[in-house]
Structure 1
Amino acid sequence: MNKLVSVLLAALALLPLPAGAKERADLLIRHATIVDVAGARLIPDQAVATRGDAIVAVGGDADIAKAWTAGRTIDGGQRFLIPGLWDMHVHFGGGPALVEENKALLPLYIAHGITTVRDASGDLPDEVLAWRGEIASGRLFGPTLLSSGPKIEGIKPVWKGTIETGSKADVDAAVTKLKGLGVDFVKITDSTMKPDLFLYAIGKVRAAGLRVSGHIPLALTVDQAVDAGISSIEHIGYAYKAGVKGEAAIAADFAAGRIDRAEAYRRLDAGFDPDTATAAYRKLAAKGVYVTPTLNGSRVIAYLDQDDHTSDDYLGLIGPGLRATYAWRVERAAKADAAAIAARHAEYEHEASVLPMLQAAGVTIMAGTDAGFLNSFNYPGIALHQELAIFVDKGLTPAQALATATRAGPAWFGKLDHYGAVEAGKTADLVLLDRNPLADIGATRAIRVVVVRGTAYDRAALDTMLADTRAKVAAWNAEASRSAGKVE
């Protein structure tokens, strides 16, 4: 129905008007330079009219101004208008006691120009699915939420908030449950998932008409997961693994118990081969398998010896309960000796170096951060901009990086007819930037206005969102201090 309405609105925008009459829009953005992400080009002095949550007209400023009037007009000042940003890998969690702290993260995404997020599941799957509906109905403020609901896992997994499976019948029931929950995709993880069930689950999910993402068991090759029908690979480490010559032998030895996990990873780290990787990445592209690198979180942990992040201003936007979930990774990293620190630096750099190889092979790269609970100092909102900066630093052009955060997500979900461009008929999710992101990807941080489902928030409104969250966190910090004092 939404698609039909958008098409009708776009068609109506093209109909001739009576002499002197103007079509009425809710919002008019004038004198903007539109960034055509797909074409990597700029279209100067444009105007955009929106009605409800849809863009109803786009064209030269003079032409649109003659034909349209609006309840609110924003002077773009020749600034740069891009589609709303998508973060394709976020997490909410930390247990029921942290529900409110997690909800307080939602405005941070909007304040950073992120209008859609893909929740890759935590331990609050039911709450997140409820938020998804509340946001869609306007009862809760935040980015559009697309969620996997609870993950499919094995029996007694490390991760909470999962559906445990130990048989094909269990997998069948899990897929039926997730289908009934109306999830947007399915996430499968591997902490205790049997390799044969992992492959079976992928096929079952795809047969149910859903996309599937996940972590690939060490006892399987990436190629096996691809052949089974996995839709996206989360974390660049798995893409690196696909480029290892002898990956199949390593997986077989691990599955048979001939080597332990540490030895398997040692052999994987040493076995990367560019020719093997190129062939593997071309197959990913041919099969339509996307990759979400999530490099920013890896970078933070790899280089904790150089920046412990204790002075980050952004900590004032993260509740005390969520900050406490950072400790386990920080403590583990702190125990590393000089050799281990050098090894984790090298591992990050080696894995990140395959990014341009993926791009060259035609693999669609999706920007996702892994931000949320547990993932230390990988902050919701700003992390996406840091991820894009890493993409460019590792070899992508600014235009390619921008596409990973505006077009790749909608393409993966089959929603490019609604998102990914500033065009009539698309959803009115937009970001007005002070600087040109095709020249400098850092310009995505220079946000002047964010339009979310047709409602515009100027810089003052965005700053208020940040200030309100900071005030909430300050109150939670004070309460935590009082409670700690009482315990003592």
Structure 2
Amino acid sequence: MNKSLLLIIGISFLTVFQSFSHVQLFSNVHIISMENDAVLENHAILVENGKIVKILPMSEASSIKGSEMIDGKGAYVFPGLAEFHSHIPVAQNGNTEFQEESMWLYLANGVLRVRGMIGHASHLPLKARVDAGEIPGPRLFLSGPSFSGTSVSSAEQAAQMVRDEKAAGYDHLKLHPGLEMDEFLAISKTAQELDIPFGGHVSLNVGLVPSIKGGYKSIEHMDGYVEALIPDYSKVLDPEQAGPFSMLLVKEVDWSRLPELIELSLEHKVWIAPTLTLFDRYFGFKPAEEYRNIPEMKYVSETLVQNWINAKTPYETRGVLTKANVQPYLDFRNKLFMTLHEAGVPVLMTSDSPQVFNVPGFSIHHEIELMSKAGMSNFEILKSGSVNPARYFDQEGEWGVIKAGASADFVMVEKNPLKDLNTLKEPVMVVMKGEVYDRQELQKQLEKIEMNHKR
């Protein structure tokens, strides 16, 4: 084939490629890039094929020709939120309806990235479908089936389970309670050899310090810290004395032990996933029945709501969830959360949905409210749901930020969320890899889900 023909083919290919290029200009917006806490007022975002090409002032936007023009009408744009401790629903007998509904519930609430923290084989095809654009959804990062006292029978079997999950294509490992030290060490060693991150609960027979030294990347629910602060560990091992998540022992906490734990956490680059709303709702003193008819429950089945009520009721029946028991525990968790955060331990935005009374997407706004009440700044809250999740998976700059070269994943809201967090509850528009979902489309999907679960 001669050079002239090759040149003609090359030019033709380039012309065809360019003709399929999708260029969008999101104009008249105020941008919170999350590179810092500044607001770029009266700017535009140029997107091509799902990637941000350029951020430019509106004075220069008129020079952009041949693009789809999307008027932001003065909206504020930020990179969106995260749910980095999710229990992604399982496809029941091949039925993926609840999975797909959950994807929409996240998007409708501006949640653009989700880390699944209790895995199932049905999650892998779900992620593949989202990645391929077959169904709308946030970025998914999947943990495999959990390692626990019931799923792990020996150190050898635990190590093989790590290898199997890595080979299956999971992104992360989830550890649950009940592991023995030799089993944990086998998981740790194999996971680090295969370069797959792991985290989760802290088994009582392992403890926080060995877990951190052994390579935990994330401590879910800030688990293990309270137990490590109790001088008499024998009480921690007694469920009657300790209560759920050692709730009944917080009055015995020795705060003088915390600086050493913080130093260890920073040294080993541990992340925390607070899930404040899980404890406020599941282990709070508000009666379970009072959650039955709160607005967001209409987006999940009556059976699921009843299951959540059934999960909380036994604690109420036993007299564990009195205000006298619960309030000191919630106060302790807020203090622990802010002490760790202010010391520099990085935080992931997490709410543990769908778990007890935490509906996908909606529960993140409860989490945000609790983070704010605990004392976290609006900028740091947004950071926990954008920049931090990208850093967690070593993908900083690829998403979770609004700048040239990053994926076009962002959310538009009416007001400045650095000043008003309530504006996050009602996205004007959600953009996911360049795909645009306006408020009308998001509301349409919410109404459809509500009809699917009409009481």
Same-fold status (TM-score > 0.5): yes
- In structure 2, relative to structure 1, the CA distance for the partners of 1:464 and 1:336 (3 Å cut) is same
Is contact 2:91–2:99 with CA below 8 Å preserved after alignment? no
Per the alignment, residue 394 of structure 2 pairs with: 414
d(CA) in 1 for partners of 2:24 and 2:321?
57
Give the total of aligned pairs.
431
SS at match of 1:326: helix
Letter in structure 1 aligned against 2:164: K
d(CA) in 1 for partners of 2:348 and 2:321?
32
> Cα offset for 1:307?
7.5
Is contact 1:117–1:143 with CA below 8 Å preserved after alignment? yes
d(CA) in 2 for partners of 1:236 and 1:176?
27
Per the alignment, residue 35 of structure 1 pairs with: 32
> Cα offset for 1:197?
1.0
Per the alignment, residue 83 of structure 1 pairs with: 79
Are positions 1:106 and 2:93 aligned together? no
Match for 1:126 among 112, 118, 121?
A: 121
- Superposition pairs of residues 49-64 of structure 1, within 5 angstroms: 49-64=46-61
d(CA) in 1 for partners of 2:135 and 2:73?
31
Are positions 1:274 and 2:255 aligned together? yes
> Cα offset for 1:237?
4.0
Letter in structure 2 aligned against 1:395: G
d(CA) in 2 for partners of 1:266 and 1:60?
52
Are positions 1:262 and 2:240 aligned together? yes
- In structure 2, relative to structure 1, the CA distance for the partners of 1:60 and 1:262 (3 Å cut) is same
Are positions 1:371 and 2:353 aligned together? yes
- In structure 2, relative to structure 1, the CA distance for the partners of 1:333 and 1:345 (3 Å cut) is farther
> Cα offset for 1:462?
0.9
> Cα offset for 1:46?
1.1
Are positions 1:446 and 2:426 aligned together? yes
SS at match of 2:385: helix
- In structure 2, relative to structure 1, the CA distance for the partners of 1:93 and 1:449 (3 Å cut) is closer
- In structure 2, relative to structure 1, the CA distance for the partners of 1:232 and 1:421 (3 Å cut) is same
Letter in structure 2 aligned against 1:211: P
- In structure 2, relative to structure 1, the CA distance for the partners of 1:273 and 1:38 (3 Å cut) is farther
Letter in structure 2 aligned against 1:165: V
SS at match of 2:358: coil
Are positions 1:298 and 2:276 aligned together? no
SS at match of 2:84: strand
Letter in structure 1 aligned against 2:131: A
Per-residue CA deviations over 1:370-417 (Å, capped at 9, x if unaligned) read 011xx2211111111111111110011111111111111111011112
Q: Say what the alpha-carbon RMSD is for the aligned residues.
A: 2.3
Is contact 2:285–2:321 with CA below 8 Å preserved after alignment? no
Is contact 1:57–1:64 with CA below 8 Å preserved after alignment? no
d(CA) in 1 for partners of 2:115 and 2:70?
30
Is contact 2:219–2:272 with CA below 8 Å preserved after alignment? yes
Letter in structure 2 aligned against 1:173: Q
d(CA) in 1 for partners of 2:401 and 2:259?
30
Per the alignment, residue 145 of structure 2 pairs with: 150
Letter in structure 2 aligned against 1:293: P
Show structure 2 runs of 5+ residues with no match: 1-19
Per the alignment, residue 170 of structure 1 pairs with: 157
Per the alignment, residue 381 of structure 2 pairs with: 401
Of 219-228 and 264-273, the range deviating more from structure 2: 264-273
> Cα offset for 1:275?
3.2
Letter in structure 2 aligned against 1:149: G
d(CA) in 2 for partners of 1:456 and 1:339?
44
- In structure 2, relative to structure 1, the CA distance for the partners of 1:346 and 1:317 (3 Å cut) is same
Percent identical among aligned pairs is 21
Letter in structure 2 aligned against 1:397: S
> Cα offset for 1:132?
0.6
SS at match of 1:152: coil
- Superposition pairs of residues 71-470 of structure 1, within 5 angstroms: 71=68, 73-93=69-89, 96=92, 99-121=96-118, 125-154=120-149, 157=150, 164-190=151-177, 192-242=178-228, 244=229, 246=231, 250=233, 253=234, 260-263=238-241, 265=246, 268-301=249-282, 302-305=284-287, 308-337=290-319, 340-372=322-354, 375-470=355-450
- In structure 2, relative to structure 1, the CA distance for the partners of 1:267 and 1:141 (3 Å cut) is closer
- In structure 2, relative to structure 1, the CA distance for the partners of 1:68 and 1:196 (3 Å cut) is farther
